[in-house]
Amino acid sequence: MGDLPYRKIVFAGTFDRLHEGHKHLLRTALKLGDKVTIGLTSDEMVSRRKGTKNIKDFSKRWSDLEEFLKIETNGDRFELFEITTVEGGADTMLDLDALLVSDEISVVENAFRINDLREQNGLRRFHIIIVPRVRTDDGRPLSSSRIRKGEHFEGKKFIY
C-alpha cells in the first residue's frame, strides 16, 4: 500500500455533463486511494431511469471522464469500466477497500445494501466514504439535471 489510506476506492455514476460536483468527488477519491476505479453507467441502464432525456451517450461520457482523469493523475491511477447494474460489481470485487458515495440518501442506502451483499458473498465489507455534494449559493446541490434544464454555473460560487 502507498502513502494513501486505501489501496483501491471504487465509485460509480452517470457523469453526464461533467461538472464541479463530479470533479470534487473524483479529486476526493484520488486523495484517498492509490487506485481509483470508476464504474460508468451504461446507456441501457440510463434508459431504464426516469428523467434521463438528453443525457450524453456512453462514449461521450467516457471520453469526458477519461480526459479529466488523465489531467488529474497523469493517466496512471484510475481505471474506468462500464456498469449495467446498481451494484456495479462492487458486491463481488475481491480487492475493494472503500466505496465512495455522495451524501444523497438513496446512494448511501445502496452502499449499505451492497456491503450486505458482499458479506453474503463471503467478502470483506468495505469502508463507505460519504462526500457531501457540492452546492450552489442557493443551497441546492449542483447536478447534471440542473444543467440539462438550462441552468448555467459559470462564475457561480460553490459550497464544498
Listing DSSP states for 67-101 in one string gives HHHHHHHTTSSEEEEEE-SSSTTTTT-TT--EEEE
| pLDDT of 156 over the 90 cut | no
Burial of 141 per CB tally in 10 Å (0-12, 13-18, 19+): middle
Which residues, at least 6 apart from 49, have a Cβ–Cβ distance to it below 8 Å? none
Among 116, 27, 142, 46, residue whose Cα is nearest residue 85: 46
Residues in the chain: 160
Q: What percent of the chain has pLDDT over 70?
A: 98
Task: Find out whether 14 and 144 touch, Cβ atoms under 8 Å.
Answer: yes
List phi, psi (to 5°) of 129. -105, 115
How does pLDDT run across 87-135, given as a tens digit for each residue?
A: 999 999 999 999 999 999 999 999 999 999 999 999 999 999 999 999 9
Rounded CA gap, 46 and 39, in Å? 13
Task: Give start and end residues of each alpha helix (H) in the chain.
Answer: 20-32, 43-47, 58-73, 105-120, 144-148
Q: Is the pLDDT of residue 151 over 60?
A: yes
pLDDT at position 51: 67
Q: How far from 112 is each of 43, 99, 116, 152, CA to CA, in Å?
A: 25, 10, 6, 34
Which residues have CB under 8 Å from 120's CB, separation 6+? none
> Tens digits of per-residue pLDDT, 40-91?
999 999 998 776 678 999 999 999 999 999 999 977 899 999 999 999 999 9
pTM for this predicted structure:
0.91
Q: What is the mean pLDDT of residues 126-150?
A: 94
pLDDT at 152 over 80: yes
Question: What are the structural domain ranges in the chain?
Answer: 6-159
Residues 138-142 have a mean pLDDT of: 93
The domain defined by 6-159 carries CATH number 3.40.50.620: yes
